[in-house]
Structure 1
């Protein structure tokens, strides 16, 4: 965790059984952001720090980034 550019400290809120597994929900107590992850203008430089998430024992990473223009939204 000490090497993570962005880290969240959570307080356990609840554990919800889902099928044969569990969904764990937490309340964010603290966020630590290293300056290397900051892209400016309130954005994070995901391509620089390679975020990693835990997904039911497996891990997933960000392969590419994209953005959506809200002006092109279809109703």
Structure 2
């Protein structure tokens, strides 16, 4: 189980949220991006966030003067 958002200093809750006490131990997001606490048996749409590793290969770009070939 993760750590409560409140203990991490997260403050972007919706108006009067969280309000569920021991009954609402999971979370959802309102359309305005604010958080809401809900019961864990409720079904909701979801998204996941993950870190994308940087590519090991890279392209070096160089800027400077050039001469046209004739």
The structure richer in strand per residue is 1
TM-score when normalising by structure 2:
0.22
- Whose radius of gyration is greater, 1 or 2? 2
The structure richer in helix per residue is 1
TM-score when normalising by structure 1:
0.21
